[in-house]
Amino acid sequence: MESIQYAVFLLGAVFCAYRAIVAKRILSATIYLACISALVSAVIYLLGAPQVAVMELSVGAGLVTVLLVYALSVVGDDALDPASVIPKPLAFGVVGLVVVLLGLMVYPAIQTNLEKGSTALANVLWQNRVLDVWIQIALIFSGVMGVLGLLSEQTSSKNKELPQ
Amino acid sequence: MTFTPLNIILLGVIALLGVGFYGLLITRNLIKVVLVLQILIKAVVLALILAGKMSGNLGLGQSSAATVIVADTIVAVVGLALGVQVRRRFGTLDLPKISTLRG
């Protein structure tokens, strides 16, 4: 039963990922991305990591989707994705090779079983991985600067138009 | 090979990574590149949680995944801001055209 749940969620996520890639309109791809995020967060929840699942759902399906839709509303009619430079059969072959190599690399891990023991996230995050927290704070400041860049109007051209 | 939850999740991670790599190869629009990177990161987050579960240290996997989610969001924000500014400056989001522009 558990395997069926994982399989349904992951098949849905892979299907949505494929649809997001081949969608002509980027707005449709954005909606598919939100679906992927929701399905992946469901899998993460089933794996026993509810905090990260909530984080992934709120950030991936919420914040990033809103940012993408806003960016698409700003860039306007340029939202259609042009045809690819690389021939699709070549890209498919390269990716198939990568996937096979990746499968060979992770094959030994299939022999192991899921461990039941775990440590609390709060203990790890606040005691063993304090540097991660500081890095996250620095990254969030970078994100604020990025949002300012995203929201800024054409100030440079406006300044040029001002009378000297 | 029996289909245990571990095998299924590993296959799902590899499939998501494969679709993401394929998307990176065939995508030319700058905003869609950011979107495809998000797909790849979701696979990586899932792999980190799975690795934590397999090693019996789920807290460490969750901690790493949380850091990756924050970094991934910042990448999306900065990438989208870059895309908006490039569109305003050059009038296009097509990567081959942008790479041949000067000024």
User: How confident is the model over A63-92, as a mean pLDDT?
Assistant: 80
Contact between B83 and B93 (Cβ < 8 Å): yes
Give B31-49 pLDDT, tens digit per residue: 889 999 999 999 999 999 9
User: How confident is the model over A3-30, as a mean pLDDT?
Assistant: 90
Number of domains in chain A: 2
Q: Which residue has the higher pLDDT, A134 or B45?
A: B45
Q: How far apart are CA B91 and CA A76, in angstroms?
A: 11
Q: Are residues A74 and A130 in the same domain?
A: no
User: Taking CB atoms and an 8 Å limit, are A118 and B58 in contact across chains?
Assistant: yes
Assigned domain for A69 exists = yes
Q: Residue A82: pLDDT band by 50, 70, 90 thresholds?
A: low
Q: Are residues A6 and A68 in the same domain?
A: yes
Q: Which DSSP string corresponds to A110-150?
A: HTS--------HHHIIIII-HHHHHHHHHHHHHHHHHHHHH
Give B52-97 pLDDT, tens digit per residue: 888 888 888 888 899 899 999 999 988 888 888 888 888 888 787 7
Q: Are residues A77 and A6 in the same domain?
A: yes
Assigned domain for A74 exists = yes
Q: Are residues A34 and A78 in the same domain?
A: yes
In A, which residues are within 8 Å of B25 by CB distance?
84, 86, 91, 94-95
Predicted confidence (pLDDT) at residue A154 exceeds the cutoff of 60: no
Q: How far apart are CA B103 and CA B86, in angstroms?
A: 12
In A, which residues are within 8 Å of B10 by CB distance?
106, 109-110
ipTM (interface pTM): 0.91
User: Taking CB atoms and an 8 Å limit, are B49 and A47 in contact across chains?
Assistant: yes
Q: How far apart are CA B38 and CA A67, in angstroms?
A: 12
Q: Are residues A130 and A75 in the same domain?
A: no
Assigned domain for A111 exists = no
Angle at A85 between CA A80 and CA A88, to 5 degrees: 95
Query: Count of A–B CB contacts within 8 Å?
Result: 265
Q: How far apart are CA A72 and CA A69, in angstroms?
A: 5
Assigned domain for A89 exists = no
Given A83, A111, A145, which residue is the final one in a domain?
A83
Q: Which residue has the higher pLDDT, B8 or A108?
A: B8
Name the residue facing B66 among A18, A55, A103 (closest C-beta).
Answer: A55
- For residue A161, give every residue at least 6 positions away whose Cβ sits within 8 Å of its Cβ, in sequence order, or none: none
What would you report as the CA-atom Rg of chain A, rounded to the nearest whole angstrom? 21
Domain that holds residue A76: 2-83
Q: Are residues A52 and A124 in the same domain?
A: no
User: Taking CB atoms and an 8 Å limit, are A98 and B29 in contact across chains?
Assistant: no
B99-to-A74, A158, B77, B93, B103 alpha-carbon distances in Å: 22, 26, 21, 10, 11
Name the residue facing A59 among B5, B27, B69 (closest C-beta).
Answer: B69
Mutate: best of B6, B33, B80, partner A, most A CBs <10 A: B80
Q: Is B29 helix (H, G, I), strand (E, B) or coil?
A: strand
Given A61, A83, A105, which residue is the final one in a domain?
A83
Q: Which residue has the higher pLDDT, B51 or A112?
A: B51
Predicted confidence (pLDDT) at residue A60 exceeds the cutoff of 90: no
Q: Which residue has the higher pLDDT, A151 or A48?
A: A48
Q: Are residues A69 and A123 in the same domain?
A: no
Task: Provide the CATH topology of domain B5-100.
Answer: Helix Hairpins (1.10.287)
Given A57, A83, A109, which residue is the final one in a domain?
A83
Mean pLDDT of the residues in chain A: 81
Assigned domain for A133 exists = yes
Assigned domain for A63 exists = yes
The total number of residues shown for chain A amounts to: 164
Assigned domain for A112 exists = no
